[in-house]
Amino acid sequence: MNLFEAGIIPAGLAGGIIGWVLGEPSGTLWTVGGMLAGGAAGMLAGWLYGLLVIALMIFFGALWGATRGRSTPEPKSIEGLARPGALGIVVGVVASSGTGFFVGWHLGLLVALSAAVVTAFLSVLQAELK
């Protein structure tokens, strides 16, 4: 699973569930429309979230390389970013969706951004220390 798929799949499901809950009181057609629109919006949000994590990985990787005196990252360290990054993206999407739905979207957005920073930092740290 690549990093974009890790964001698209759970975010699409979460968006579909939120669309279903919001459309349910209005009837079947609104429920189906809400699920489809929520799923599509969730997939777009998950793709953007995966892109954010990749950008943060690039930032932390460049920062790590600059402190170590390397100008380019090693291919071995780049390959090591995918597995912990994908797991962190799935956890971040699920945690932010639940927090945003049950507590409030402001806190859900804060959880998503915090999880993205922590995921990117820990992925780079694990890849560089191997």
Per-residue model confidence as pLDDT tens digits over 1-36: 678 788 888 999 899 988 888 888 888 888 999 999
Cβ-in-10-Å burial (0-12, 13-18, 19+) of 47 comes to middle
Band (pLDDT 50/70/90 cuts) for residue 72 is low
Residue 97 neighbours by CB under 8 Å, 6+ apart: 10, 11, 14, 18, 108
Whether residue 128 has pLDDT greater than 90: no
- For 77, the token pair is 């360290």
Region 56-60 average pLDDT: 90
The pLDDT value recorded for residue 35 is 92
Region 79-100 average pLDDT: 87
Mean pLDDT over all residues of the chain? Answer: 87
Whether residue 62 has pLDDT greater than 90: no
Counted domains in the chain? 1
Q: Which domain holds residue 46?
A: 3-129
The pLDDT value recorded for residue 74 is 67
User: How many C-beta neighbours within 10 Å does residue 15 have?
Assistant: 24
Band (pLDDT 50/70/90 cuts) for residue 41 is very high
